[in-house]
Structure 1
Amino acid sequence: MSMTVLPASSRVATPMVDPFGRTIDYVRVSVTDRCDLRCTYCMAERQTFLPRAELLSLEELDRLCSVFVGLGTRKLRLTGGEPLVRKGFIDLVARLSRHLASGALDELTLTTNGTRLAEHAEALAGHGVRRINVSLDTLDPAAYRRITRGGDLAKVLEGLAAARGAGIAIKINTVALKQDNGADLPAMIEWAHNLGMEITLIETMPMGEIEADRTGQFLSLSDVRRDLETRWTLTPLVRRTGGPARYARVEQTGGTVGFITPLTHTFCGDCNRVRVTCTGTLFLCLGQDDHADLRETLRAHTDDGPVAEAIRAAVARKPKAHDFRIGLDVAPAVRRSMSVTGG
């Protein structure tokens, strides 16, 4: 397949800046809404996925990502659903790696559930992927099967070993679930640190309609942190990675733990990112519905100029903050699920 090369003339030196003075240089792009797991807090057990014809092709994803790079994007994260289930995904990574080689892109990375990591880790490393995020909520095989509705923990652990062996740095993303893993979070942190991996804890986010009651599973990370501080010394770190986490070093393990708190503490003040779905919809905020349809513009023009203009126009109206709330009588902040938005 041919490779889309962004003309030098289309590169714009002026960075994208939103109405609140935030430079937007981090884009998360979903390559599929499909996933091989059905995590209870993420999607319905009988999830309806998009018709394949509605998804951007690999060539279109390459072109769109390249336009973002031309607009000053320095970090590109590929997500899903589960990105590794998308046929041809490694080919897309290979194409996009040219922006790493040219110096136009600082980092090309992905978020994965790890189930297919063992077979793809070497290829990812070979195409310049230096670190990845792996979503994993428990080390108990039975609990993992229950949370993911049938997943095999052994496959994920095999994938983690393969990625580490390929020289890829790993950050574990763990959703704090009061009933399923709340008591096991210290053990998760110790396990990750013993293997040289970072770990970030995440409050469950009210996105999309699911069968489960998120209220019963919600666990405040303020409470979790207080519990951790009775065990260990946590030293706050002044660190920004282009994401919403706030970090601390666990002095006793030497490792780093992050906290993402969309409900108990907003993280929007220095937001530098936008999300693009696998259908080419640009969402300006994870917890707001304002969006722009880039697919129509992408397909209507062979010239990248109109696509770049549409992106700039959308960023110019990026909202200040999300509006996540949780409760028995509170509807989800947005009706779309995380798997549709891009994890």
Structure 2
Amino acid sequence: MNSLITPATQLVDRFGRQVRYVRLSVTDRCDFRCVYCMSEKMTFLPRDQVLTLEEIGRIAHVFTELGVEKIRLTGGEPLVRRGVLELVDYIGSLGLRDFAMTTNGSQLPHMAKALKAAGLKRLNVSLDSLDADKFRRITRIGDLNKVLEGIDAAREAGFERIKLNAVVMRGRNDDEVLDLVELARERGLDISFIEEMPLGHISDHTRDETYCSSDDVRDIIETRYSLSPTSTQTAGPSRYYAMADSDSQIGFISPHSHNFCGDCNRVRVTVEGRLLLCLGNEHSVDLKEVLRQYPKDNEPLRQTIIDAMDLKPEKHHFTTDGDVQIVRFMNTTGG
């Protein structure tokens, strides 16, 4: 597929960065209510404001024609969307170099095998605590045992790589960093530790109170294991490190302490069809309007995406002092 991509059809922004990676949100709904992601009493989008699975498939198809090599399905929780396996099957047929999904793991016990059979290559599973009570406090309603069962089901299904994602919050779960590393080592998983991103007004805590930098997390890990930088490239923002005695890799996603904007190759499409050019800005284009105005013609959608690259900003401006510049919650942003 990508051998047919010419410079004229590549997605390149004003700063010379080529977009090769798209995150597609398939729903804003979730069966958890994680404290850093959404409000406890969420109001979700009406059905007519949400892209259909067919519309999401059209967007994925056009992006692959424009040189995108990686697509990740996100949410909310993507596996609570009815019919999502049909979408996975369609996108899995597009010839992507990498096709992945971010999930909370709750639905994997009964869906992992079907996802693998449909063409999904990799999974990221969000897991912030190994203490059942603490896990429930962070997720508000999540069942840790079900998530651990889901991780085992994914391992048995034979995915290429499975990675844990842990948002580290000081005073909440920073005391579990080494426990999470041990779980990854024991089960042959990778793990990324993520600095909390200031998206949406939350009531559980102030973000300056819980901010824990990637450097702090790395210092904790190196009390037990020496970390060496690797050359691993996944098209995402993680910077990976290896341990001498394990195949598991440890990644750090550091939007505050080590800004990764300089080589950003990503855009996001929200479930309501907004093409977000940056996680930390509101620069966006309405793709849903184009999709529904031209239901049988992808050329207007294609041109809209190409033109939107000029809106991609040079960098985001996250702060750690509790100031929230972006009012949308992470579940509406899409992973």
1:176 alignment partner in structure 2 = 168
Which among 229, 246, 261 is matched to residue 268 of structure 1?
261
Matched, 1:18 2:13: yes
Which among 281, 285, 293 is matched to residue 274 of structure 2?
281
2:311 alignment partner in structure 1 = 317
- Partners of 1:32 and 1:248 lie apart in 2 by 32
Contact 2:93 2:119 in 1 (8 A): no
- Partners of 2:271 and 2:167 lie apart in 1 by 23
- Partners of 1:317 and 1:217 lie apart in 2 by 32
2:185 alignment partner in structure 1 = 193
- Partners of 2:47 and 2:202 lie apart in 1 by 23
**Amino acid in structure 1 at the alignment position of 2:52:** S
Moved over 6 A (4+): none
1:4 alignment partner in structure 2 = none
Contact 2:273 2:288 in 1 (8 A): yes
**TM-score normalised by L of structure 2:** 0.95
Measure how far apart 1:118 and its partner are.
Answer: 1.1
Which among 298, 320, 339 is matched to residue 331 of structure 2?
339
Could you report, residue by residue, the CA deviation over 1:67-94 in whole angstroms, capped at 9, with x for unpaired residues?
1111111101110000000000011111
Measure how far apart 1:208 and its partner are.
Answer: 0.7
Could you report, residue by residue, the CA deviation over 1:164-213 in whole angstroms, capped at 9, with x for unpaired residues?
00101210000011122101101110111110000000000100111122
Matched, 1:47 2:42: yes
Measure how far apart 1:240 and its partner are.
Answer: 2.0
- Partners of 1:66 and 1:12 lie apart in 2 by 14
- Partners of 2:121 and 2:92 lie apart in 1 by 11
- Partners of 2:217 and 2:101 lie apart in 1 by 27
Measure how far apart 1:228 and its partner are.
Answer: 1.9
**Amino acid in structure 2 at the alignment position of 1:95:** Y
Which among 279, 296, 305 is matched to residue 299 of structure 2?
305
- Partners of 2:15 and 2:97 lie apart in 1 by 24
**Amino acid in structure 2 at the alignment position of 1:107:** D
Which among 125, 141, 162 is matched to residue 134 of structure 1?
125
Contact 2:22 2:269 in 1 (8 A): yes
Measure how far apart 1:12 and its partner are.
Answer: 5.2
Unaligned runs of 5+ in 2: none
2:77 alignment partner in structure 1 = 82
Matched, 1:71 2:66: yes
Matched, 1:115 2:106: yes
The 5-angstrom pairing of residues 227-306 of structure 1 reads 227-301=220-294, 302-306=296-300
Which among 134, 147, 163 is matched to residue 156 of structure 1?
147
Q: How many residues align?
A: 328
- Partners of 2:223 and 2:83 lie apart in 1 by 47
**Amino acid in structure 2 at the alignment position of 1:205:** M
Could you report, residue by residue, the CA deviation over 1:20-55 in whole angstroms, capped at 9, with x for unpaired residues?
111101000000000100001111000111111110
The 5-angstrom pairing of residues 188-227 of structure 1 reads 188-212=180-204, 213-227=206-220
- Partners of 2:266 and 2:18 lie apart in 1 by 8
- Partners of 2:125 and 2:249 lie apart in 1 by 15
**Amino acid in structure 2 at the alignment position of 1:280:** G
Q: Which deviates further from its counterpart, 13-22 or 152-161?
A: 13-22
- RMSD (CA atoms): 1.3
Contact 1:203 1:260 in 2 (8 A): yes
- Partners of 2:245 and 2:252 lie apart in 1 by 18
1:3 alignment partner in structure 2 = none
Q: Identity, % of aligned pairs?
A: 47
